[in-house]
Each structure stands twice: as structure tokens, then as C-alpha cells.
Chains A and B, each alone.
Chain A
Amino acid sequence: FMLTQPHSVSESPGKTITISCTRSSGSIANNYVQWYQQRPGSAPTTVIYEDNKRPSGVPDRFSGSIDGFNSASLTITGLKTEDEADYYCHSYDSGIWVFGGGTKLTVL
């Protein structure tokens, strides 16, 4: 299966954005979705795991959900310039793991 994300999203500080992640086959609800943030030159870090859980240290401005079109979403409210990064969704099925293609978030 594949996970499809928009290539890029841009918004102003203080606003809200949502990044979608659509699963091509099989139900997205059957396997947990994670979201990773990656800043240039650094390894990814988790911002959401198991669909909607936040690791300690991740602000509650970040939230995850499973939607009705075989998609997952990452929502970031009150955008800050430090949120500018690439975001990847991530899931698995039958021992195989897949990343979405990534979404570049620009906060301008």
C-alpha cells in the first residue's frame, strides 16, 4: 500500500493547518498512523503516534486523527516559525512499513 500526502503547505504564524495522509489500499483504521517532523540536517522525531497520541515534550498544538476517506490528518494550531519542517506520515501492514512522501510546511 501507499500513503499519499500533499507535497507542500504554507500558512502564516498563528494560523491552523491540516496535513492529510491517504492510504491507497486497506483500511487506514486497521493500523496505527504516526507522524514525524524532520528539520533540515536532522533525524526525524515523532510528533504523533498511535493515530492521536503526543510524546512528552510535543506541544498540544499538534493533534492527529483518522478521517472518513481512508485518511489520517495532522493538525497544527497556532503555527509558529519553529514548526517549519517536513512532516511524514507512517503506517504498516503485515510486517511491512510505509512512509508517506512527506509534506513541506512553510510558515511565513
Chain B
Amino acid sequence: QVQLVQSGAEVKKPGASVRVSCKASGYTFTSFYIHWVRQAPGQGLEWMGRINPDSGVTNYPQKFQGRVAVTRDTSISTAFLDLSRLRPDDTAVYYCAREEYVNFDYWGQGSLVTVSS
């Protein structure tokens, strides 16, 4: 069965960087885009970017360009989200999701990142 398993919770100080991983199993990793979506406490969903695991090509919304990088390691079927220059308002649950055509059909369990001095 398809699974996306994310790395655990992180606590970071303002200005630091964080890496969240998303390990895929149960399907051919290179056949489906992986997206990253975050959700601040009590807030809605916010799209952060995506990667084509086959080519490595990425797309980001303008808000995060320069501060977010999405990469992958096909040898371990894992996608990564790197977020730099962390601020307290980056505190959120970060999700990875698989895209089947236009639908985000499978999601990871979420990884809580807390940014606090």
C-alpha cells in the first residue's frame, strides 16, 4: 500500500534551517510529483512547492522562493523540504503529499516544526 512517512518533530531557533523528509513506499517513486504543504496552528493549508522526482524539476510559489528548497534522493525514495532563515511564524505542521494527476491522493502524517527562541 502507498505510504508517505515523514521525519519527526523539530524545535529550531529563529534564523536556523530545518530539513523535513518524506519517505515513499508502495509505488514507483519517480512516477508521481511530491508536494509540500504546511498548516500553522489553527490556520489553513498553504502550498510550499513540488518536485518531479524523476527529473528533479521544482516549482515554488513566489512567497517561498529563495527560502525553500525541495529535493529528492531516488535511491531511497525520499523527498526533502529545506526551509531556511526560520521565523516564529514558520511554526506549523508540514505535510508531504503525492500528486496523482491533479489530486493529492496520499499524504504524510505531518511533521511539527516549532520555531522559538
Contacts and interface: CB of A to CB of B under 8 A. Distances in A.
Interface of A: 31-32, 34, 36, 38, 43-46, 49-50, 55, 86, 88, 90, 92, 95-102
Contact of B107 (A32, A43, A50, A55): A43
Contact of A46 (B44, B61, B103): B103
B17 to A, nearest CB: 24
Given A95-B59, A96-B61, A44 B104 contact: yes
Interface of B: 35, 37, 44-47, 50, 59, 61, 95, 101-105, 107-110
Contacts, number: 53
Given A43-B108, A97-B50, A102-B45, 19 more contacts: A31-B102, A34-B102, A36-B45, A43-B95, A43-B109, A44-B107, A45-B107, A46-B104, A49-B105, A50-B103, A55-B103, A55-B105, A90-B45, A90-B104, A92-B102, A96-B47, A96-B59, A98-B47, A99-B37
